[in-house]
A and B are shown apart, each in its own frame.
Chain A
Amino acid sequence: MEALEVVRPGLLSTVQDRGRVGYQKYGVPTSGAMDHTAFRAANLLVDNEESAAALEATGEGPALRALTDLVVAIVGADMEPHLNGRPIESGAAMGVRRGQLLELGRARQGLRAYLAIAGGIDVPVLLGSRSTCLPAAFGGFHGRALRTGDCLPVGVTGTRPLEITGRRLPAGWWGAPHEVLTLRVILGPQEDRFTPEGIETFLTGTYRLAPEMDRMGVRLQGPPIAHRSGADIISDSIPWGAIQVPADGQPIVLLADRQTTGGYTKIGVILREDTYRLAQATPGQIVRFCRASVQEAHAAWRAYEAKCQALLQSWQRWGDRRSYALRLGGRSYRVGVQEGKGMYRVAIEERVEGEPKKGE
């Protein structure tokens, strides 16, 4: 079902999901949302499956016309969203009526915002994912960023707006990077190709995000990291968050649309959760690295997963059901109301003959 028409595409708006797993051996990048934390929260807000596709807006968001009634949520960079010219909240599920104009502006904080729509963006699944793969021009919406006039299809949803509008992210759940962004790194797989001083430089130096940045990766500028004997290796696999150091000693962090293999030494790999923070940083951002062990990283991953799961549970926790009588046009109904966190579930239970009893 066509649900959203692109009135203004924004700088780079692409359809993304959790990414493409299992095709790197064919040279296919994983793609997927750059900031999974924000992407995931947006999907959770509108009660989508976590695998549902959402829209990733970069730098400056799109303007979209609703072609049908929708429930949406925006999480991530603050793009001052407006609905029919009125400011609306980020980080909350809300209804959008057919014909209304949803506008995202220039990012004031952060870089990428995610617009999730109840039902998910229903583009075809290619190689196991709905994500746009920009380097190979496939997936997502015709393998490219959105353009004016495109119409985005949305999947069928069992979500009734009443049940989720009003869902809101707890304060501080998501935030744009601070002045100094500290990224936890597991050293390797080629840390032995650097001098001890080189490793020391990397772990104590201050780096700045260069203007060259996209979905493939970001370049950093700072004290050059010294190799032991050259920067080239026999090409091998490049994981998400890998930090390549070519001969000039300036690190490059590889992200969603990265090439799957490469021949530069990798000094370390950033923890997934921290790469999502990096994806919200803009040129000039100050970055530092701190060393983490694999055990620490796994503990951090568990905590991160628990945090995301708790978010969903907080919305699904419902209070006791209370019954109310409702009179409409001379008829009486018994209505059940359940209060959850920041929302209500309302259901008509039965039609009642005669006057409702007192106390109800």
Chain B
Amino acid sequence: MPIRFLDAGESCLVAELGDRIDIALNLQVRALGLAVERAWLAGVQEAVPTYRSLAIYYDPLVIGRDALKNQVQSLRDSLGDEGEKAPKIMEIPTVYGGEHGPDLDFVAGHTGFSQDEVIRLHTEPLYHVYMLGFMAGFAYLGGLPERLSVPRLATPRLKVPAGSVGIAGTQTGVYPLESPGGWRIIGRTHLRLFDASDQVPTPILPGDKVRFVRIEKREYQKGASGSP
């Protein structure tokens, strides 16, 4: 299939494979990203997979843009059918509500469910990791039940603690770092989602599946303090 190539400046070529959010399409992007990395093309610095496109950063003094296009197209042509093959499943132990999930009450009120039902609905799906981005270690997850859709905060919080689990619109996700944020925070995990001292600095990768697992506060405290 021909790729739609777009220039994003003088040293970034975007290979767009489609124009929608779709797991099969996203897996093709991921496969093309891995193929580009494994080809070790001279002058290619990095490949960043997103929902439906791959951004390829290159040094134009080493590889020309047309040569790069041809290489990427032929890598694409030689890819097989990239179905979902036994993805890695990451469990995210999460303590819901209370001090760790100050907006659980709001989400329950807004959606008309009880707090327990909100937690059950949130822990039910196997979420697809479309991509990482926005901030270090942040995973864009797909699969939040529409019934849990809630508006963002009118005024974002100045500080959301690392590990906070939030909902905004039709998205859910975990803040890997302390940061400002406008999502509704329903829980928190002690999992460390970004570690700069590790060459692969995040445990969740594109193409993985994620499940939230409800834990009790004392389990969270045990995990957070690092004891087994």
Interface of A with B (CB < 8 Å)? 21-29, 126-127, 133, 135-139, 186, 188-189, 234-237, 239-242, 259-262, 266, 268-272, 294, 297-298, 300-302, 305
Known: A139-B196, A235-B50. A28 touches B201 (CB 8 A): yes
Within 8 A of A (CB), among B35-58: 45-53, 55, 57
What's the least CB distance linking A336 to chain B, in Å? 38
Question: Which residues from chain A contact B10 at a C-beta distance below 8 Å?
Answer: 186, 269, 271-272, 294, 297-298, 300-301
The total of Cβ contacts below 8 Å across the A-B interface reads 151
A290 CB, nearest partner CB in chain B, Å: 14
B215 at the interface (CB under 8 A from A): no
Asked whether, in the complex, the Cβ of A237 is within 8 Å of the Cβ of B8, the reply is yes
Q: Are B14 and A237 in contact (CB under 8 A)?
A: yes
Would A294 and B196 count as touching, CB distance under 8 A?
Answer: no
Q: How large is the interface on B (under 10, 10 to 19, 20 to 34, 35 or more residues)?
A: 35 or more
Q: Contact: B9 with A242, CB < 8 Å?
A: yes
Q: Is the CB of B196 within 8 A of A127?
A: yes
Segment at the interface with A among B91-99, B104-112, B114-122, B135-143: B135-143
Query: Given A236-B55, A260-B134, A272-B11 in contact, is the A26-B200 Cβ separation under 8 Å?
Result: yes
Asked if A235 contacts B8 (CB within 8 A), the reply is: no
Query: Do B135 and A136 touch (CB < 8 A)?
Result: yes
Check B131–A261 contact: CB distance below 8 A.
yes
Q: Which residues of A contact B202 (CB under 8 A)?
A: 26-27
Expressed in whole angstroms, the Cα–Cα distance for A252 and B89 within the complex equals: 37
Flag if A236 contacts B14 (CB, 8 Å). Answer: yes
Which residues on A sit within 8 Å (CB–CB) of B137? 26-27, 136
Q: B residues bordering A, Cβ < 8 Å?
A: 6-12, 14, 19-21, 33, 45-53, 55, 57, 60-61, 65, 131-138, 140, 176-177, 179, 194, 196-197, 199-202, 206
Instruction: Let me know if B8 and A242 touch, CB within 8 A.
Output: yes
Residues of chain A lying within 8 A (CB to CB) of residue B12: 237, 239, 269
Smallest CB gap from B6: residue in A: A189
Contact status of A24 and B20, CB under 8 A, knowing A135-B136, A236-B53, A302-B61: no
Q: B12 — nearest CB in chain A belongs to which residue?
A: A239
B residues near A235, Cβ cutoff 8 Å: 50-51, 131, 133-134, 140
CA gap between A85 and B206 in the complex, in Å:
55
Cβ–Cβ contact B206 & A189, under 8 A:
no
Which residues of the partner chain A approach B179 to less than 8 Å between Cβ atoms? 135
Contact between A234 and B20 (Cβ–Cβ < 8 Å)?
Answer: yes
From B9, B52, B57, B65, residue with most partner A Cβ within 10 Å: B9
Report whether B49 and A25 are in contact in the complex, using a CB–CB cutoff of 8 Å.
Answer: yes
Q: Are A234 and B21 in contact (CB under 8 A)?
A: yes
Contact, CB under 8 Å: A25 / B9: no
- Given known contacts A188-B6, A294-B10, A302-B61, A25 and B47 CB-to-CB distance under 8 angstroms: yes
Given contacts A25-B132, A133-B136, contact A239 B201 (CB under 8 A): no
On chain B, the residues within 8 Å of A138 by CB distance are: 196
Given known pairs A239-B55, A261-B50, A301-B61, the reply for A27 and B196 (CB within 8 Å) is no
Other A-B pairs beyond A135-B135, A237-B14, A272-B11, 4, CB < 8 Å:
A26-B137, A127-B196, A137-B177, A235-B131
